């Protein structure tokens, strides 16, 4: 068996979610930061969910990184992660929004004010 063949999934990706195509929560993004809640991994956890929990034991990863490690589509991992969050096994933090641009005129006024204080 070649290395390429060993990476192939024997089961279609949609079966990992029980055939569901949508996550239970709409707050997950591919940049959502995931980290484990620290609960022990029990036998009731499905294999794909177990792998997610194992990936997150050393530290947090984004949803997209987890999908890449599992060789699964992001949409499938969203469903799995939503289930784990619902069960209290994972925490998901929405991506931090990009910082707003500062108004140049305000910064120039502040700088002028600081310069006048120095004099």
Q: What is the pLDDT of residue 1?
A: 46
pLDDT tens-digit map of 3-31 = 554 555 555 666 666 666 566 667 788 88
What is the CATH class of 14-115?
A: mainly alpha
Q: Measure the CA–CA gap between 118 and 98, rounded to whole angstroms.
A: 34
Q: How far apart are CA 11 and CA 48, in angstroms?
A: 11
Per-residue confidence (pLDDT) for residue 69, from 0 to 100 = 93
Q: What is the mean pLDDT of residues 79-89?
A: 91
For 100, 101, 103, 114, 116, the CA distances from 107, given in Å and listed in that order, are: 14, 11, 7, 11, 14
Residues 38-81: tens digit of each pLDDT = 888 888 888 889 999 999 999 999 999 999 999 888 888 998 99
């Amino acid at each position: 068996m070649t290395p390429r063949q060993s990476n192939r999934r024997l089961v279609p990706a949609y079966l990992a979610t029980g055939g569901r195509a949508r996550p239970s929560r709409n707050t997950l993004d591919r940049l959502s930061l995931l980290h484990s809640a620290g609960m022990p991994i029990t036998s009731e956890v499905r294999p794909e969910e177990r792998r997610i929990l194992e990936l997150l034991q050393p530290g947090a990863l984004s949803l997209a990184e987890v999908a890449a490690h599992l060789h699964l589509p992001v949409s499938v991992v969203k469903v799995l992660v939503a289930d784990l969050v619902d069960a209290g096994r994972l925490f998901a933090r929405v991506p931090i929004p990009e910082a707003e641009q500062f108004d140049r005129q305000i910064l120039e006024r502040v700088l002028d004010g600081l310069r006048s204080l120095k004099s």
